[in-house]
Amino acid sequence: MVAIFNTTDAFLFGLLMEPIKQDLALSDAWMGFLAGFIFSISSSLAGIPVAYWADRGSRRSIVAGGLFFWSLLTIACGAAQSTLQMTLARMGVGITQATGGAPSHALLSDYFPPQQRGMALGTMAAGGTLGIFLAMLIGAWIAEYHGWRIAFLVAGLPGIILAIVVRTTITEPPRGQYDSGETSDDTLSVWTTLRFLFGLRSYRHMVIAGSLQSFAGIGAAVWSTAFLMRVHDMSIGVAGTTLAFLDTAFAALGIMLWGIVADRLGLRDSRWYQWIPALGTLLSLPFYLLFLLLPGTDAAIVFLAPSALFFAAWIAPSHALAQSLAKQRMRAMSSAAMLLLQSLIGMGLGPLAVGLLNDLLSPLLGDEAIRYSLVIITLVSLWGAMHNLISARTLRQDLNHQAKIKKLSTNQ
């Protein structure tokens, strides 16, 4: 549920960009800045200190407090009367939503052993995709009949109640209960932790891969509603419903499915945790290009479902590996470092790049400009797949090194 509201509140802005743009009289580049760049910078700056806190404090309380405040700030987005007010509200949502990612990943990793973390973290990530589904479906129709401001209000109110439920019902599990014998890392500084993690070649290339895939995926996701409204002349309600059922629903299914597959195949060879993301990206690309380039609406939207199902393959395996490659009190930091770069490059630059390309191409192509802007950034995902394959080369050695450290600690 936390993951659902995390992504609902983050991605609702992307759904509502067309009416917000008209009301505040902004360019596509500025909308891309608000949708992605300012949000991701704020979240990224908060991510590392929040993770450091989570590796030492109560992860449950951090998540609950963050949820309470980002829900209030989501409501503030709907109340914004100027560009400055909207910018400040989006910054606030970004800062407080840093509590929903890395601390939650670290919490789940103490509920489940390593061989089940792909499934567990995939389920959480699928919940996040369900949040996009609800934003697209419910938010779109609320915006169509009651306006974009009410959509923000409806998205924010339930999170305030959920924050109280999280704080009073979720238990804080024993830290490192599935890592018997591993020594505590309480004294490690942020710099020492990051140096250890990025010293692992498999971790380093996995993070680069996810950042590039986020650039392509988030850039496309934020502008998908605008694409359907401009190119295929859909209303915001119809566009949101189409994306909810043919894109985000299949993405949620794909995240859970590929997390389970990675856990199964990973028992035979851990490199599947990086082979699966590369394979999924390669299989997804032709379907998404057909969705973007086919002129007929009915023919184009059919290809959304297989594209989303395959593209989701990188998410759960990467999140699981970020936990398995880290030591006990590095886990929140491991996720935070990965999410920071994914946020900066994906959320920060992806939507902004599409907006800039739209403004650049629109004098020549008009409303068709967005079609080719999305084609350009989608091709970046191939670069990400290459880094998945590079990560797989040293993955077994890096995981074996971690196992030796734990075995030595147990013997001592």
At 122, the pLDDT band (50, 70, 90 cuts) reads confident
Q: What is the pLDDT of residue 382?
A: 95
Q: At what angle do helices 83-97 and 59-79 cross, to 10 degrees?
A: 170
At 405, the pLDDT band (50, 70, 90 cuts) reads very low
Which is higher by pLDDT, 188 or 298?
Answer: 298
- Average pLDDT estimate for 225-252: 91
- Average pLDDT estimate for 380-387: 96
Choose the CATH number for 2-173+187-411 among 1.20.1440.230, 1.20.1250.20, 2.40.50.100, 1.10.10.60: 1.20.1250.20
At 406, the pLDDT band (50, 70, 90 cuts) reads very low
pLDDT above 50 for 410: no
Q: What is the pLDDT of residue 186?
A: 52
Q: What is the pLDDT of residue 357?
A: 95
Q: What is the pLDDT of residue 188?
A: 65
Q: What is the pLDDT of residue 376?
A: 95
Task: Determine the Cα–Cα distance for residues 157 and 154; give it in Å rounded to an integer.
Answer: 6
Q: What is the pLDDT of residue 194?
A: 86
Share of residues in the chain with pLDDT > 90 (%): 45
Structure tokens at 274: 């990086």
Report residue 161 CA to chain centroid gap. Answer: 23
Closest CA to 110 of 48, 187, 173: 173
Q: What is the pLDDT of residue 378?
A: 94
Task: Determine the Cα–Cα distance for residues 4 and 190; give it in Å rounded to an integer.
Answer: 29
Q: What is the pLDDT of residue 409?
A: 43
Q: What is the pLDDT of residue 119?
A: 80
Q: What is the pLDDT of residue 271?
A: 93
Task: Determine the Cα–Cα distance for residues 28 and 243; give it in Å rounded to an integer.
Answer: 21
Q: What is the pLDDT of residues 340-353, one digit of tens each?
A: 888 888 878 888 89
- Average pLDDT estimate for 29-46: 82
- Looking only at Cα atoms, what is the longest distance across the chain? 69
Identify whether the C-beta of residue 311 lies closer than 8 Å to the C-beta of residue 378. Answer: no
Q: What is the pLDDT of residue 150?
A: 94
Task: Determine the Cα–Cα distance for residues 73 and 89; give it in Å rounded to an integer.
Answer: 6
At 399, the pLDDT band (50, 70, 90 cuts) reads confident
Please tell me the least confidently modeled range out of 50-54, 187-191, 228-232: 187-191
Q: What is the pLDDT of residue 402?
A: 57
Q: What is the pLDDT of residue 179?
A: 64
Per DSSP, 326 falls in state: S
Task: Determine the Cα–Cα distance for residues 219 and 45; give it in Å rounded to an integer.
Answer: 20
* H helical segments located in 170-270: 190-198, 201-231, 236-243, 249-266
Identify whether the C-beta of residue 247 lies closer than 8 Å to the C-beta of residue 224. Answer: yes
User: What ranges make up the beta strands (E) of 343-401?
Assistant: none
* H helical segments located in 147-200: 148-169, 190-198
pLDDT above 90 for 371: yes
Neighbours of 327 (CB within 10 A): 23
Q: What is the pLDDT of residues 251-287, one digit of tens each?
A: 989 988 998 999 899 989 999 999 999 999 999 999 9
- Average pLDDT estimate for 155-164: 93
Q: How far is CA 182 from CA 163, 192, 302, in A?
A: 33, 17, 50
- Average pLDDT estimate for 24-36: 83
Per DSSP, 368 falls in state: G
3-state helix, strand, coil in the chain (%, to 5): 85, 0, 15
Q: How far is CA 86 from CA 21, 24, 93, 265, 353, in A?
A: 12, 10, 11, 46, 20
Q: What is the pLDDT of residues 92-118, one digit of tens each?
A: 998 998 888 878 888 888 888 877 887
Residue spans per domain, the chain: 2-173+187-411
Which is higher by pLDDT, 243 or 36?
Answer: 243
Q: What is the pLDDT of residue 154?
A: 92
Identify whether the C-beta of residue 322 lies closer than 8 Å to the C-beta of residue 106. Answer: no
Please tell me the least confidently modeled range out of 36-50, 290-304, 313-327: 36-50
Q: How far is CA 103 from CA 99, 116, 149, 188, 258, in A?
A: 6, 18, 30, 18, 23
- Average pLDDT estimate for 14-26: 86
